[in-house]
Structure 1
Amino acid sequence: MSQVADLSAAHQLLQDRFGLDDFKPGQQAVIETLLAGRSAAAVFPTGGGKSLCYQLPSQIFEGTTLVVSPLIALMKDQCDALLSRGIPAARLDSSLTAGELHRAMQNVRDGATKILYVAPERFFNERFRAAISSLSISLFAIDEAHCISQWGHNFRPDYLKLAELTKELQVPRVLALTATATPEVLDDIRTAFDIQPADAVRTPFFRANLQLRSTILTSDRHYDTLLDRLESRPPGPTLVYVTVQKAAEEVAERLADAGLNARAYHAGMESEVRAEIQQWFLESTDGIVVATIAFGMGIDKSDIRYVYHYNPAKSLESYAQEIGRAGRDGKDSICETLLVPEDRVVLQNFTYGDTPTRAAVKLLIELIAGQSERFHVSHYRLAAETDIRILVVRTLLTYLELDGFIKATSPRYDNYQFRPFVTSQNILRNFKGEQREFVAGILSSSVRGKVWFTIPLPVTARRLQAPRERIVKAIDYMAERGWMEVKVAGLVHGFEKHNDFGDLDALADRFFDRLQQREATDIRRLDDVLQLATASSCQAATLSAHFGEQLDQTCGRCTACLGEGPFELPKPQNRGIGRSASDAVHNLRKQYPDLLDTPRAQARFLCGLSSPVFVSKRLTREPHFGVCNHIPFETVLNALT
């Protein structure tokens, strides 16, 4: 089919299958690029129609469109919405049963389903990697593509692997999607996926219907001001964002007691409860959801009238994404930050909690340097052995890879178990010749437990003189046919060494400095949010400039433009840590000399910043854990130093 015919088909699909008369800004340019066989990037504001850019072409391309999406809720909503239009789509996530996974993959292989949604961590699953290796992938779409940039606001090391994966799978075209990319982050995205500058489409960031407001408050007026806003303004669907789960529950309960239609939402709730709250909110005309940032992504509700930041966002990128959920119907919506200066302490301390000690960084490097030329390692074991949070472990391994010391190979699971639904004889009668002998060898190698059989993969591979990949494929095939249920555990990531590590002390210094630079960058991101809230100039113009867009004139509707500012952000009064806290941590140091041996470790304890070892040794249950969580980390650290 020619590109002209493809474009004609795209317009017809837009009307017939998606029920739309015309494309939104930027959509047609992105779709034309993909239909021409080139990769593209789409930087559209939240609600700007990014999903259509891969959903529509997927129905024209012959193969599978693989969509990397970070949230189960988003994948489910997208699949349900497509199904309502008569477009089959499948998702692979932890909420599905073995039977549902089998049917989903079978429909994709048969061509009945052309869109497959996958979480990024799924690519560390060797069963999934084996399954997609036989698919004809026409388009690889990456949502939240800003996560690939190590200097972006939400860097996720897993995303860097996606760029390599697209090359391994020889994907003909890639689509990178994001709502929050600064010019620098967009450059990183284009470089990673070989996207030409002309094929990176950025639509205007500014939305005139969003009225940005901010109010600076004392802590004793915080809740009362929120209640006053909700009661005095016309009712409408509302999001109230808070930082921690406990605050979501407490604020929602107080609002409900005041007679408002309010409910809490956070990641600590059961998935069924979260799904029920989402559905309730979608159908509500006056519902108020008090939520952590776990809520909102993929919620396709066009009439959200208010977004309140009861606690500040952690960056301007997060802020833009969260307020972008309001007013997608084009009608006026108010987005107000109710800022208590003390909130800065909580968010800053979260950032400091991610930075490990320099000794811990060196220990991780030593552990990797001491491995054999090809090795597998567990992120969780590394975290436990080094007392470094799991995301930071992944980041350090990514640094080692980016600097050429190691190269990632295939991940695998150490433990495979299956529960049979039919007898071995029933399974074997489906095979003949060498295949039958091979499957029989796998089944006879399994060790029976009460319910589950364990397959010792290294032993089975040696016994059958077969590659591990073939055994995994056979196990997966039997599970897909419904003959058994398979479960895996013990994910380990494969690497091979490429260069000598050299001076480990110098390398540890370099990586520790890099982590401290990220820490300083994250603190500056928070400062940008607080500066925006002071409303010293047009807030819409300031926010747009951050994303590379210069407004011709001020918005005329924000707090600064209305003359309700500027404000000056008062500095919270920093009290000392107190004699009892200082004495407590020094006494605990005698009990745990290896855990609290540095002022930084002691400060993390007093500020309530957990770590893998703090949790495993139950230090988080000590009565003095977190007694200084209201005091800036730097103040606590300086006092202890």
Structure 2
Amino acid sequence: MNTNITQLLEKYFGFSAFRPGQEQVVETLLAGRSALAVFPTGGGKSLCYQLPALCFDGVTIVVSPLIALMKDQIDFLTARGIAAARLDSSLSLDEVKRIGDGLADGSLRLLYVSPERFNNERFLGQLQRTKISLFAIDEAHCISEWGHNFRPDYLKLADAAKRYGAERVLALTATATPQVVKDIHEAFGITPDDGIVTGFYRPNLELVTTPVTATERDTVLLRVLKQRPPGPTIVYVTLQKTAERLAELLSEAGLPAEPYHAGMEDEARSAVQERWMASDKGIVVATIAFGMGIDKSNVRYVYHYNLPKSLESYSQEIGRAGRDGQPSVCHILACLDDVPTLENFVFGDTPTRSALHSLLSDLLSRGLEFDIALYDLSVRHDIRQLVLKTILTYLELNGILRQGTPFYAAYEFRPLPGQTAKSIAAAFPEAHRTLVENIFEAATKGRLWYKLNPEDASLALAVERGRIVRVLEVLEERGHIELRTADVRQRFYRLNPSDDTEALTDELDSRFALREKNELARLAKVVKLIGLGSCQTNALTGYFGERRTTPCGHCSFCLTGEAQRLPESTPPHPIPASLRDELTALRDAHPDALREDRQLARFLCGISSPAVSKARIGRHKCFGILEDHPFGAVLGWLSTEL
């Protein structure tokens, strides 16, 4: 490694040497090639793009779904004099303008964005005018259709990197099986030799599994928390209501516990996080999003009050413990009563065949070019938006559709204080003044805001839509107006007018059935690991392709020499006979939401859907009444009773 890089490492990051794998990744990028870094959680992935960013002439785009990571890393970088920023919907007009200026004049070194930002028409326009020296994708396993956390927006990133001229790509992840590694290499054109996998084994993590019944779990958790020396602790749970209840229980027992989940206000969540970060004994009871991208090295305990949904999730969550290399405990309170709830999350994402057929019939009847609003389509066909995005991605991959650049059907703007439409137009030379005046005239004026549909204005003014949008952006950039966008539309082109709706429906139905089967199998692997009659640590690392032959000596099997036996799950309460008549009446009243057996089974198991939300029956007394029953058993009951 050249001396300059070593000096930058020490000057900006305070390190005299690299961690395993970092130097090889940095050298690959500096040589002009793309790379994949598969490091364990806390293994120093972020340095692999932060350090090279200082050496390149151009901006490093960092794509991450983790807002917490963005905020923490930007604070870290700016404190060291490195120009870094994030672009998201929470920013003020002035902040967005400063970022745009930094991209334009080349002063911005790193820009953090979410993958959804690549559906933003204005952002894509900025990228076309920006030199991208490095395109870094965090959580890159999300690009794999068969990975544990597939996100359709990630499939667009490989195309975006090429389209906007990124000079090199860096894909990063902590949880990739050999198949997912292969998918990442293929998607981003990374050669196998430039994939750096440092291993998953963490010798300082003690993996403890304690089989429990649902009734004794609270008592066991309280006991172990009080027996062990205090230290920064995360207790992972599945449901928001469990986080609230458990945090209250622990607090009443004198433990410094607080809840953290997506249902809390942003301000409250941030306050909980900040208090925990500053504490050397705080306990946060959280749903699975907590901890992602947060750099706290001295987490001593990670408890799983509920079962993790997959070995990938488990590995990622326990990876937040002991990043300082000191001994830490990762403890699962294993209860089979968790299985139906975790399975329900999987079943909730599987659309019915009739919903797929309805959606495809709709899409394929719209002509060779059309645009859609995802929310409207989701409600109309009772398919969750993330699932809908996945379907549209499948149709693109199969050559049925091609997505164009998303656009906003509505732009709203208002002159800033001291300015008027007339004064704004007068600030431009005559060649452009008329167009500015015409845009104001074409817009519908409210009390403060003008509203404009660029498509309609394009037809009325005989001016290209893109030029109208660019004028609005220039007005904003020069401080004349405040601009905001609404009603995002996805544009699509039909590639083959003769597509067979029935055949496509069958294909997608089979594909989602396979996805459902795979997700259920992931959960089954967690249960198998808990009851394994051999080293559990070696089995976990082996799942990710790292083969170890020597027992770890610090998992439950190695410590006890015995396989754990899980108690039988609590039998669900009997389904009351009176429910049949009530459901018949409910189905008749809400056919769009409850017509199919799978729709009704989701409703009874407490799984919401767009149609249930639209019908406003999520608070009905029957919603979730059978949430303790296996989904398959509820489906079977419905098929015989209704």
Instruction: Identify the residue that residue 467 of structure 2 maps to in structure 1.
Output: 470
What is the 5 A alignment of 1:571-610? 571-572=568-569, 573-610=571-608
Instruction: Identify the residue that residue 504 of structure 1 maps to in structure 2.
Output: 501
Tell me the distance in 1 between the aligned counterparts of 2:269 and 2:597.
40
Tell me the distance in 1 between the aligned counterparts of 2:498 and 2:70.
41
Checking the alignment, whether the CA contact within 8 Å between 1:120 and 1:158 is kept in structure 2 is: yes
What is the 5 A alignment of 1:359-374? 359-374=354-369
Q: Which runs of 5+ in 2 are unaligned?
A: none
Checking the alignment, whether the CA contact within 8 Å between 2:237 and 2:305 is kept in structure 1 is: yes
- SS of the residue corresponding to residue 578 of structure 1 reads coil
Checking the alignment, whether the CA contact within 8 Å between 1:213 and 1:334 is kept in structure 2 is: yes
1:269 Cα deviation from its structure 2 partner: 1.2
Checking the alignment, whether the CA contact within 8 Å between 1:405 and 1:501 is kept in structure 2 is: no
TM-score by length of 2: 0.97
Q: Residue 405 of structure 1 is aligned with which of 391, 394, 400?
A: 400
What is the 5 A alignment of 1:181-580? 181-421=176-416, 422-563=419-560, 565-572=562-569, 573-580=571-578
Checking the alignment, whether the CA contact within 8 Å between 2:400 and 2:499 is kept in structure 1 is: no
Checking the alignment, whether the CA contact within 8 Å between 1:65 and 1:114 is kept in structure 2 is: yes
* 1:319-363 deviation digits (Å, cap 9, x = unpaired): 111110110000000001111210011001111111111000011
Q: Which segment drifts farther, 575-584 or 40-49?
A: 575-584
Instruction: Identify the residue that residue 104 of structure 1 maps to in structure 2.
Output: 99
- SS of the residue corresponding to residue 635 of structure 2 reads helix
Number of equivalent positions: 636
* 1:290-313 deviation digits (Å, cap 9, x = unpaired): 000121111110000000000111
- SS of the residue corresponding to residue 560 of structure 1 reads helix
Q: Which segment drifts farther, 297-306 or 429-438?
A: 429-438
1:438 Cα deviation from its structure 2 partner: 2.5
1:276 Cα deviation from its structure 2 partner: 1.4
- SS of the residue corresponding to residue 342 of structure 1 reads helix
Q: Which segment drifts farther, 471-480 or 575-584?
A: 575-584
- SS of the residue corresponding to residue 414 of structure 1 reads strand
* 1:128-186 deviation digits (Å, cap 9, x = unpaired): 11122101111110111110111000000011011111111121111111111111001
Tell me the distance in 1 between the aligned counterparts of 2:499 and 2:574.
43
Q: Which segment drifts farther, 503-512 or 232-241?
A: 503-512
Q: Which segment drifts farther, 577-586 or 185-194?
A: 577-586
Tell me the distance in 2 between the aligned counterparts of 1:277 and 1:482.
37
Give the fraction of aligned pairs with identical amino acids, expressed as a percent. Answer: 49
- SS of the residue corresponding to residue 605 of structure 1 reads helix
Counterpart amino acid of residue 464 in structure 1: L
- SS of the residue corresponding to residue 485 of structure 1 reads strand
Counterpart amino acid of residue 524 in structure 2: D
CA RMSD of aligned residues (A): 1.4
Runs of 4+ that moved beyond 3 A: none
Tell me the distance in 1 between the aligned counterparts of 2:424 and 2:57.
33
- SS of the residue corresponding to residue 412 of structure 2 reads strand
Counterpart amino acid of residue 395 in structure 1: T
Tell me the distance in 1 between the aligned counterparts of 2:275 and 2:74.
19
Tell me the distance in 1 between the aligned counterparts of 2:251 and 2:474.
51
Matching of residue 625 in structure 1 with residue 623 in structure 2: yes
Q: Taking structure 1 as reference, are residues 347 and 119 closer, same or farther at Cα in structure 2, changes over 3 Å only?
A: same
Tell me the distance in 2 between the aligned counterparts of 1:215 and 1:402.
44
1:44 Cα deviation from its structure 2 partner: 0.5
Matching of residue 12 in structure 1 with residue 10 in structure 2: no
* 1:429-486 deviation digits (Å, cap 9, x = unpaired): 4422323332232223221112211012122212332222222222122223332221
Q: Which segment drifts farther, 532-541 or 378-387?
A: 532-541
Tell me the distance in 2 between the aligned counterparts of 1:440 and 1:564.
81
Tell me the distance in 1 between the aligned counterparts of 2:503 and 2:297.
53
Checking the alignment, whether the CA contact within 8 Å between 2:409 and 2:455 is kept in structure 1 is: no
Tell me the distance in 2 between the aligned counterparts of 1:460 and 1:532.
61
Tell me the distance in 2 between the aligned counterparts of 1:356 and 1:443.
45
1:204 Cα deviation from its structure 2 partner: 1.4
* 1:482-516 deviation digits (Å, cap 9, x = unpaired): 32221211111111111235321121011011001
Tell me the distance in 2 between the aligned counterparts of 1:480 and 1:131.
12
1:620 Cα deviation from its structure 2 partner: 1.4
Checking the alignment, whether the CA contact within 8 Å between 2:590 and 2:615 is kept in structure 1 is: no
1:36 Cα deviation from its structure 2 partner: 0.9
Instruction: Identify the residue that residue 637 of structure 2 maps to in structure 1.
Output: 639
Q: Residue 114 of structure 2 is aligned with which of 107, 113, 119?
A: 119
Tell me the distance in 1 between the aligned counterparts of 2:131 and 2:31.
18
1:32 Cα deviation from its structure 2 partner: 0.8
* 1:209-240 deviation digits (Å, cap 9, x = unpaired): 01111111011111111111111100000000
Checking the alignment, whether the CA contact within 8 Å between 1:574 and 1:635 is kept in structure 2 is: no
* 1:575-609 deviation digits (Å, cap 9, x = unpaired): 54331333322222222334323322221121111
Checking the alignment, whether the CA contact within 8 Å between 1:205 and 1:549 is kept in structure 2 is: yes
Checking the alignment, whether the CA contact within 8 Å between 1:585 and 1:606 is kept in structure 2 is: no
